[in-house]
Structures are given as structure tokens and as C-alpha cells.
Structure 1
């Protein structure tokens, strides 16, 4: 049975000290659970200021991590941006790309996200590539059209033999307490899987993100091609994060 992926997106939360405390507690608690990492793959996405703290404490463990965002070039006169090369030097294995907040608030375009994905692959890292529709698009019946277009433009020119993690996040469900129905999630994940396989991607895993909590995780994990979650608020505390992981 393939491992389920549980990715924690801390967004703009946690000081380095709080990040260290989280990782220490996570290591202590997972040590008590027999075979935890045989069933679960854990990825942490801290803020940039806390990345080194997470890197230090995750060294030698099965806990993966990476930055929430990178720039499309490794270095240069790009004040305020994050370097994927620096993230790699801190032993990051993953890069979060295209989160809805980056798309909506910071107006990142598909072409920009494509550059970030290609750079991530060039460095031998794995993208957790986010897609999803807003409420207006959902109500207009454009969910699949929007998601497939974001994939097509964002992954253009990518190496299809490399591992790829795609996170489907209905924007209207993020942080709102609303969750897409089982039928809605199943429809989108089935279509995403079929589309990526038909295009020749050799290793694709699909995450669901959008107000995932301990009380809805088990039901969502039963859906075909839901290979895990991208978790926001419920991943800020070790207790609730592990309650979700334990549904695997």
C-alpha cells in the first residue's frame, strides 16, 4: 500500500522557536506510533525565516520539508524573494508552488509558476504544485476547465519522468470551514489522474486541500486518487496534525 502524504502549510505562522518546538514534539509523538512512517509521508512547509530551524531538526529523520514559495531564478537582484538553490542547500526536497494565496493575493501567473516548476526540477527537487477554482468558477461549472488549464500551462515543458505532487485546492474551501463534497472531490481527482496519466506522467500523486480536519480526513482518504492532504490551520498543532495523519 502506498504511503499517504500529509503536507503541512504553516503559511505566515510560527517563529523559528515555535517551528523547532513543533518538530521536536512531532518527532517525539511519531516515535510512539509503531510503523508511522511506513504509512505516512510528512512534509512541512514553514515560512522562510523558519526554514533553517526546521532543516536542522529534521536532519536524519523521515520528515520532508521545503519553502512555501521560490523565485524563478536562483540568485540576482530580486529583493525579498526566496532562492530554490538556497533551499536545496538547507536540504529541502520539496517546493510548494502556486498556492491559491500566491495566485490570488500576489497575482502569480501560470507562466511564472511554470518557470518555478521547471527550476525546481532542474535542481532535483519535487514540486507540490497547487491548482484550484474559485467560487465564481465553481458556480459557473468551470472547475475542470480551470484546473486542467492551470496544469497545462503550469507544467509545460516539464520532465514527465520525475515525481510530481499536485494539490487540488478549491479556493472557496480554504480556511472557510467549507469542504468540497465527496462527489466533487472524486470527480476532480479522477479527471486529474486520467489527464496526467494520458499525458505520460510516470509518478503523480494527488493531494486534496481545503479545510481538511480530523473529522473529515478519513472520509476524504477513501476517495480514489486522494493520495493525501495539503493541510493549513489543522497543521499548526501537532495534536490535530497527527489526528489527520492517523486516519491513514
Structure 2
């Protein structure tokens, strides 16, 4: 077995019912792609998007979940509720959640465990800030986040890891190929010490992935796909990234 190739789109707090027309276009042009495709819209669109996808091989996911299965948590959504709405995946520990909501590695691990219990695949995000990169702390930060955020129950069937250097998200900047390769090789080795089938876990790169740079990024060792932000909102852009991943083999 080898890691599955995955093109994942994170719509963040963007999109409405009218935007589902982009899904129709994506299904029409990439419904039979050889790589896996995942789109994570705002929670209010999950059910409608799942119905829109129909029988096409495009998975739908959430962008966060609560660690508890239910209860007095106004405004939150549980992993089981995401599953019930049609989701198969959930993004956890994104830098925007860590920064805007103060989420810790322990919080992410608890949410990931809840996702596993609900039958969801957790897309666990890690990444360093610009200050941490400049201080030479990148691998220390990534190692700490992996150790603290990935539960012991993780395996290739329920977990995906996404490396998103915080300073490259939405900025148009990307690390060098050597920097991406270093982090992805480090993650693979780090996971091998804790997860039996670490060699089969998909490792995604995220951080200003665009049609123009996708092919080059997908040529880097241990990069099994991408977690795409803004470029996933348009079928033409996301479709070009999917095509680049398909061509990477």
C-alpha cells in the first residue's frame, strides 16, 4: 500500500448555495479523477453539497468539530453531526483555529479522537510561523505539534497530515522545494516512531498552492497532495490542481 493522493479544498468562511454551481462543474470535469478529492465547505453547506455531488467520487468534509459528542456547547458542531450531514472528513488544528481560537495540541488531539469515534478521517494540520521559521525552530515546532495533536489511535485509514507553514497561507509565498521536502521527510520519519502504518499516511502540503506551482510541489518526495484554500473556490483553479496531482502519478 502507498499513501493515497488527495486534493483537499478548504473553503473556510466562504461560499453559499449559489456557489454549489462550482461543484457541478468540478463533477463534470473531474468526477473520475484517479486521485482522491475532498471539499470542506462551511458546515451549513455540507448536506447540500453532498447531495449535489451525488455518485461522483468527491468527498465532503467539515472544517472543525467539538471534542464532545453532544451537550451544551452553543454554536459548536460534533463529529457525529458532521457525519450525519454527509461528511467523511474533518479538518482539525488549522492555524487559523489555533490562532483565532487558542486551540492547543491537546485540544486538536481530543477533537481527532472524537472524529475517529464518529468514523471521520481527521485532516490534522501543523505548521510554523514566520518567526519560528526565521529562528530555525521549524522542525521542533512540527515535531511538537505532531506529538501533541495526533492521537495514538491514528492510522492511515483515519488520519491525514497537512503541513501548512503559517507564513505561506494566503500570502502568495511558498517555501523552497528543499524546505518543503525537509519538513515532509521529517514528518514521515516522526510518524514512523508512533504509527504502525505511517508510510501509508497521506501527507499534504498547504500554503498558497495554485495551478501555477502545483506540479512542482507535487514532484517533491513525500508530498501526497495539497490542502488548498482560496484556489479551491473556483472549479477551474481547483480542477487544474487536481489535474496536476493526477499527472504526478
TM range (shorter): over 0.9
Which of 227, 235, 238 matches 1:230?
227
Q: Structure 1: which 4+ aligned runs deviate by more than 6 Å?
A: none
Distance (Å, rounded) in 1 between the aligned partners of 2:142 and 2:196? 17
Question: Paired residue for 1:14?
Answer: 15
* Residue deviations 1:66-101 (CA, integer Å, cap 9, x gap): 110111112111001112111111221101001110
Do the aligned residues in 2 keep the contact of 1:16 with 1:49 (CA within 8 Å)?
no
Pair 212,90 (structure 1): closer, same or farther in 2 beyond 3 Å: same
Mark the runs of 5 or more structure 1 residues left unpaired by the alignment.
Answer: none
Distance (Å, rounded) in 2 between the aligned partners of 1:159 and 1:232? 25
Do the aligned residues in 1 keep the contact of 2:115 with 2:121 (CA within 8 Å)?
yes
Higher mean C-alpha deviation, range 198-207 or range 216-225: 198-207
Q: How does 1:13-162 map to 2 (within 5 A)?
A: 13-18=14-19, 20-31=20-31, 36-38=32-34, 40-160=35-155, 162=157
Question: Paired residue for 2:240?
Answer: 243
Distance (Å, rounded) in 2 between the aligned partners of 1:117 and 1:3? 20
Which of 209, 214, 218 matches 1:212?
209
Distance (Å, rounded) in 2 between the aligned partners of 1:187 and 1:10? 28
Higher mean C-alpha deviation, range 21-30 or range 184-193: 21-30
Distance (Å, rounded) in 1 between the aligned partners of 2:196 and 2:11? 29
Question: Paired residue for 2:167?
Answer: 172
Mark the runs of 5 or more structure 2 residues left unpaired by the alignment.
Answer: none
Do the aligned residues in 2 keep the contact of 1:8 with 1:231 (CA within 8 Å)?
yes
Tell me, what secondary structure is at the counterpart of 2:175? Answer: coil
TM-score (norm 2): 0.93
Tell me, what secondary structure is at the counterpart of 2:226? Answer: strand
Distance (Å, rounded) in 2 between the aligned partners of 1:217 and 1:89? 33
Task: Say how many residue pairs are matched.
Answer: 242
Shift of residue 37 of structure 1?
2.2
Higher mean C-alpha deviation, range 207-216 or range 162-171: 162-171
Do the aligned residues in 1 keep the contact of 2:214 with 2:241 (CA within 8 Å)?
yes
Do the aligned residues in 1 keep the contact of 2:47 with 2:86 (CA within 8 Å)?
no
